[in-house]
Structure 1
Amino acid sequence: MKGSIVKKGKKYYIVVDVGEKGNRRQKWFSGYTSSKDAEKDLPHIVAKLQEGTFIEPTKTTMAEYLKEWLDLKETDLAKNTFDSYYRQIHNHIIPSIGKIPLSKLKVMHIQKMYGELEKKNLSKTSIHKAHSVLKASLKYAYKTDLIPVNFADKLDNPKKEEKEMGYWTKEEGKYF
C-alpha cells in the first residue's frame, strides 16, 4: 500500500492506494494546512489501513447517533430505564454535544458538557447519570467500529451526591 501527498489550492491531502492490482482505488484524507503535517500522518494512516484498524470518519452527529442508539436499546430496556435514558439524552447530552460529529468527539467535549451541566445547577447524581448513558452509548459505538476509542472511558465518572442517612428519634420511633 502506497501513499502520497497532494496539494490542491492551499490544502494538502494524503492519497493512499487501497485497491488491488488492476482495480485501482484511492482514499483521500484532507485537513492539512502544511505538507509537514501531512507527511507526519502518512505513515500512521498507511499502517492503520494495512492492519485493518482504520475507522472511516462519519458525518453523523452525536444527536443523530444517540437517537439511533436509543431506538436500538428500547426493546432491551425496562420502560423506566428507557425513559430515564431518553430524558438524559434529550435534556442534557444533545443540547451540549449534539452538533459534534461522532467521529470528532473528544474528551474535552465531554468534560465541557459536565461543566455546562454543573452551571445549570444540575445535581451531581444527574450528571453521573448523564455520564453513564453517554458512556454506554459510546461503548456500543466502539464495539461496532464507529469510533476508535470510547472517550467517556477516559474520564472519571462524576461522583454522586452522598445523602446523609435519615433516622428517627426515640420519640418518633415510639410514635410510629
Structure 2
Amino acid sequence: MMKRRENGAGCVKRLPSGSYRWQITVGFDEHGRQILRSGTEKTRRDAERERTRAVADHSRGLLTLPSVVRLSEWLPRWLELKRPSLAPKTFANYAYVIHRHLLPLLGSRRVQDLKPSEVRGAYVKLTDRGYSRSLLHQTRVILRQALQEAVLDELVTRNVAEVARLPSFRRGKTARALDAEEVELFLRAARAHRLGELFAFVIATGLRRGEVCALKWAHVDLDGELLRVRENVTVVNGKAVLGEPKTESGVRDLHLAAETVALLRSLPTCGVGEYVFTNVEGQRLYPDSLTKLAGKIARQAGLGNVRFHDLRHTYASLMLSKGVPMEVVSEKLGHSRPSTTADIYRHVFVEEHEQHTFALSDLLTPNPLKIRSAATRDEHDQPDEPAA
C-alpha cells in the first residue's frame, strides 16, 4: 500500500512484481499537472534511500524539471555523451544533422511535450526541401537515439521518434553501374591521367574510395596475390583522417587476379613508396580529389554523371552478372549483410535480360521439371509398413 508523507516528501509503493517504486513531485507544468520523478528498486529499504536522495537533490536544485528541457539543450548534451562511442566522421555527421536540421526544426520544443506528429512534420519539411532519404534516415536515427536516452533519464515516458515514421516517397536511383562498353570508354579516358591505373584497380577490386587512399604496400602480397584491407581514410570537417575500415566486415583479405597483380607491379610507387597510390608529391591521396577526378573522366568519356562510388557498384554488378554467389561478392565488398549488396549494389544489365529470354518450348524441353507432391510420389517413396 502507498505510504503517504507530508507534501514534497514523496512516497513508496510495492509493485505486483515484488519490487518497490519510489516517487516524488518536483513541480507543476503550465497546466497545473504534477511533474514527477520516480524509480524502482528491489527492496523497500533501497526505494526509501533513493526517495530520500531525490528529495535532497530536489531541495538543492539538482533535479532539472523535465518540462523546461528543450531539444536545443538536450541534443547537444546527448551528442557529447555519445562522442566516445562514435568514429570521428560519424560524430561530425551527427553534429551537422543536429545543428543544420534538427535544431532549426524542433529545437524550441520541450522534450516532454514533443509529439509524433511534430517529428513527422519535420521529416516532411526535409522531404519538401529535396533532401535524400538517406539524410532523413540519419535524422531519424539521431533523434530516436537521443530521445531514448531521455527515456532512460526519465525526462519522458516514451520515445516519440519510435512511432514517427518517415514519409513514403520514391526517388530514382542516383547510383549507377557501368556496363562493359562504358567501362572501356571510362578507362580509355582515364589513361590520359596520371592516376588512370587507380580506376582500373578499383573496378577490378571494388574498394571504397577511402580504402584505396589508405592502401599501403605493406598490405599487399604480390607474390601471394593477396590484398589486405586494414585502413580507411575519411574526411572529417574537410580534414582527411586515417582510421579503421568503415565496419568490422570491412577488414578483409582479397585475392587478386594475375592481371591485377601485374597492374600493381607496373606502378612507379611499387617497391619505393609507402602508399600504393599517391599524389604528385608522393603523399597519400585526398578522397575528395578522387571524386572530382572520376567525374571529370566520365564527362571526357561522354558518360555523363558518374560518381567514384559508382565504380564500386560497377564491380558488384559485373561480378554478379558472371554468376558469382551473392555472399561471395558481399564479403569482397566488405558488407555486413548480403542483403545490402542485393538491395543497393545489384544493377541488372540489359544483356542479362536478353540472355535469359526463353520461349515456352525452351522452358519445357528437353527435360521439363516435375513438381513433387504427395499425390505423385511413387511406391518406392512410401514409408515402410510398421512391423507386425
- TM-score band, normalised by the shorter chain? 0.5 to 0.7
What does the per-residue CA deviation read over 1:108-143, in whole Å, with 9 as the maximum and x for residues that have no partner?
A: 110111122122221222111111111111111112
8 A Cα contact 1:128 1:158, kept in partner: no
Structure 1: runs of 5 or more not aligned: 3-17, 33-37
What does the per-residue CA deviation read over 1:73-129, in whole Å, with 9 as the maximum and x for residues that have no partner?
A: 111110000001001100000000000111111111101111221222212221111
Looking at both structures, which has the greater relative contact order when contacts are Cα pairs under 8 Å and sequence separation is at least 6? 1
In the alignment, is residue 70 of structure 1 matched against residue 79 of structure 2? yes
Q: 1:143 matched to which residue of 2?
A: 152
In the alignment, is residue 163 of structure 1 matched against residue 151 of structure 2? no
Classify 1:161/1:78 alpha carbon distance in 2 versus 1 (closer, same or farther; 3 Å): farther
Q: What TM-score comes out, normalization by structure 1 length?
A: 0.67
Counterpart Cα distance in 1 of 2:172 and 2:149: 30
In the alignment, is residue 25 of structure 1 matched against residue 8 of structure 2? yes
Q: 1:11 matched to which residue of 2?
A: none
Classify 1:143/1:91 alpha carbon distance in 2 versus 1 (closer, same or farther; 3 Å): same
Moved over 6 A (4+): 48-52
Find the residue that maps to 1:146 and give its secondary structure. coil
8 A Cα contact 2:29 2:67, kept in partner: no
Q: 1:101 matched to which residue of 2?
A: 110
Equivalent residue for 1:113, pick from 85, 108, 122: 122
Counterpart Cα distance in 2 of 1:49 and 1:144: 10
Classify 1:171/1:144 alpha carbon distance in 2 versus 1 (closer, same or farther; 3 Å): same
Classify 1:105/1:173 alpha carbon distance in 2 versus 1 (closer, same or farther; 3 Å): same
8 A Cα contact 2:120 2:166, kept in partner: no
In the alignment, is residue 124 of structure 1 matched against residue 124 of structure 2? no
Shift of 1:70: 0.7
Classify 1:49/1:58 alpha carbon distance in 2 versus 1 (closer, same or farther; 3 Å): closer
Q: Give 1 or 2 for the bigger CA radius of gyration.
A: 2
Classify 1:133/1:158 alpha carbon distance in 2 versus 1 (closer, same or farther; 3 Å): farther
8 A Cα contact 2:115 2:160, kept in partner: yes
Q: How large is the RMSD of aligned CA atoms in angstroms?
A: 3.3
Counterpart Cα distance in 2 of 1:113 and 1:174: 45
Stretch deviating more after TM superposition (158-167 or 74-83): 158-167
Counterpart Cα distance in 1 of 2:151 and 2:180: 54
Equivalent residue for 2:182, pick from 142, 155, 172: 172
Classify 1:97/1:164 alpha carbon distance in 2 versus 1 (closer, same or farther; 3 Å): closer
Q: 1:9 matched to which residue of 2?
A: none
Shift of 1:172: 3.2
Classify 1:162/1:86 alpha carbon distance in 2 versus 1 (closer, same or farther; 3 Å): farther
Q: What TM-score comes out, normalization by structure 2 length?
A: 0.33
What does the per-residue CA deviation read over 1:125-162, in whole Å, with 9 as the maximum and x for residues that have no partner?
A: 21111111111111111122111000010122456966
Stretch deviating more after TM superposition (155-164 or 144-153): 155-164
Classify 1:58/1:128 alpha carbon distance in 2 versus 1 (closer, same or farther; 3 Å): same
Count of aligned pairs: 144
Find the residue that maps to 2:178 and give its secondary structure. coil
8 A Cα contact 2:144 2:159, kept in partner: yes
What does the per-residue CA deviation read over 1:39-64, in whole Å, with 9 as the maximum and x for residues that have no partner?
A: xx8xxx7xx88997xxx633011010
8 A Cα contact 2:147 2:159, kept in partner: yes
- Percent of aligned positions that are identical: 24
In the alignment, is residue 58 of structure 1 matched against residue 67 of structure 2? yes
Shift of 1:170: 2.8
